[in-house]
Amino acid sequence: MTVLGVLRLLAPALAGVAMALKQQGGLTVLAVAGLPILEELRRATLARRLYLLGRRTAGVTAVAVGVFVAITLASGLGLGWTKWLSLMGVAGTIAPFGMVSQYGGMLLTHLGVDPGPFKFGVAIVSNVVLVVVLAWIVVRWSDRPIHAVGWGSLALAVLGQALHPWYVPWSLALLGVDNLTPRQRRWLMWFVIGFVVWNSVQSSVWYKVRI
């Protein structure tokens, strides 16, 4: 196998390793698939662009998922983060849907109502909204794979099950190597400021409630 052939397998394999560590890592398949044909994507019409990116992403994803499954079987640790997809709000973070689940669950428990169905419903809504937003991001920036991965990673952190403080810098690192518009930079700046303030206040309230 040529060096180029090895690299074509190595990049998707590394995406699989990243996905095994954290679900956001799975988004890198877009960059792995799109960057080698970036100029072609930029010249193509939207329909053609989505076809090219979709076809290549399917192949990259197949390799990445294969590596993910291999790591799962070899480690004996199970499917990792996948088991948490229906446990909305358990982590007690400032994820918007997580807060609805945890505080709504507390209220229902106080009222003597089983919060299980409510939390499961919030998890379903969260996952549906996340899929729709990710689909929009991919379509909107199908000619900018790094851009799509960066904003997709941020969407996954904000709309997912939990939003820990260290989730946000991963997205910022990706967006930092891409060209953002002045509006996007301002939005991102105010988001980070709001996130830090909100996380500080919510964490204090949450730990007081738990104690």
CA–chain centroid gap for 25, Å, is: 8
Q: Quick check: 193 pLDDT over 60?
A: yes
Segment 153-176, tens digit of pLDDT? 999 888 887 787 788 888 888 888
Q: pTM for the complete prediction? A: 0.83
Q: Quick check: 57 pLDDT over 90?
A: yes
Q: What integer pLDDT is reported at residue 169 of this predicted model? A: 85
Segment 4-29, tens digit of pLDDT? 556 677 888 888 888 887 778 888 99
As a whole number, mean pLDDT of residues 64-74 equals 86
